[in-house]
Structure 1
Amino acid sequence: MDTSTLVKSLKAMLLKANAHVSFADAVKSLPANLRGVVPPGMPYSIWQLVEHIRIAQFDILDFSRNPDYKEIDWPGDYWPKEAAPADDAAWKHSIAQVDKDLHAFIGLLEAPGADLFAPFPYGSGQHLFREAVLLLDHNSYHTGEIVTLRRMLGAWH
């Protein structure tokens, strides 16, 4: 089965804004003093959301390519405890890692001979297409939350 159109669509959905804004646009030009602010009534800061996206996305990537994958603990290992990044370098590293790991995942989709629907031999029937949809849903949901927090903090266009 030719899945090139499906791969192209998944790639576009993972990289572009669609219903929300893109992750890159959601975090672009956010004032450093707002990265660790937890708005009243909210459980987390934008930094915690960015880190959660980074951690969960890497977990999905690792699961999708690593036959020696080791499950991490939910929810503790998926959310940072600190509300703010240690410094600007930590913020930039996290943002860059989200982009790097997303492109690594897309590389799995675009790999020659990739079978999107072949069950992983180590994953209880999961397959690359399932993980792509999971990643798309996860990242778009939490990117929308970043936009919401920015609006609450008065830091959205």
Structure 2
Amino acid sequence: MDKDQVLRDQLVKLLQGGQAYQPLEVYLSGISAEVAGKTAADLPYTIWQLIDHMRFTLHDILDFSRNPGYVEPNWPDDYWPKEKSPKSQQALDECIKDLKEGMQEMIRLVQDQNHNLYEPFPHGSGQNLLREAMLVAEHNAYHLGQIMVLRRLLGDWEV
């Protein structure tokens, strides 16, 4: 197997999780809209805000990775939902579904040999697909850890 394919396979494993931390599906499974909108003492965000932030950021990174006409959203206003809770269970479920589908799209980009992992995007400032895939994995790991802690603090996580 060539080194490029080895790297792609390792990136996929990193994106999927399950090596140093549980996969995204484990942390997001069974969350109710009620719990997603609750706050914990001294924390400025809710589970809903973290999930929607992850979804938005992932789709922003996907857009940047595929679109030469990319326009950067406003930071931080566009990246974080203002609402503390989802409008409904359906809204939460759709957000989680969209996040999972976005992850599958990032994995497809990484697996596709037609996409050079190392070549800088012409519309960026040195970023490439390798960097963007690692950024997604790092960003998700950080926020999934926050979600797990919040679920524990809210009594919604079995140890």
Shorter-chain TM-score tier: over 0.9
Contact kept? 1:51, 1:94, Cα under 8 Å: yes
8 Å Cα contact 2:33-2:85 kept in structure 1: no
SS at match of 2:50: helix
The letter for the 2-side match of 1:52 is: H
Distance 2:108 2:31 in 1: 29
- Displacement, 1:113? 2.7
Any idea what SS the aligned residue of 1:126 has? Answer: coil
Q: CA deviation at 1:27?
A: 1.2
Structure 2: distance between partners of 1:3 and 1:101? 23
Matched with 2:139 is 138
| Alpha-carbon distance in 2 for matches of 1:32, 1:70 | 32
Partner of 1:49: 50
1:89-108 pair list within 5 angstroms: 89-108=90-109
Alpha-carbon distance in 2 for matches of 1:63, 1:81? 23
Trace 1:14-93 onto structure 2 (pairs within 5 A): 14-93=15-94
Partners of 2:57 and 2:32 in 1: CA distance:
24
Displacement after TM superposition at 1:30 (Å): 1.9
RMSD: 1.2
Offset of 1:19 from its aligned partner? Answer: 2.3
Residues 27-86 of structure 1 show CA distances to partners (whole Å, capped at 9, x for unaligned) of 111233211001110010000000000001111111001111110011111000001100
| Matched-pair contact (CA < 8 Å) for 1:47–1:85 | yes
> CA separation in 2, counterparts of 1:132 and 1:155?
30
Contact in 1 for aligned 2:33/2:86 (Cα 8 Å): no
Say yes or no: does 1:110 pair with 2:111: yes
More deviation, 28-37/120-129:
28-37
Opposite residue 82 of structure 1, the aligned amino acid is: E
Q: Hey, what does 2:128 align to over in structure 1? A: 127
Return structure 1 stretches of 4+ with deviation > 4 angstroms: none
The alignment's TM-score, normalised by the length of structure 2, stands at 0.94
Q: Sequence identity, in percent?
A: 40
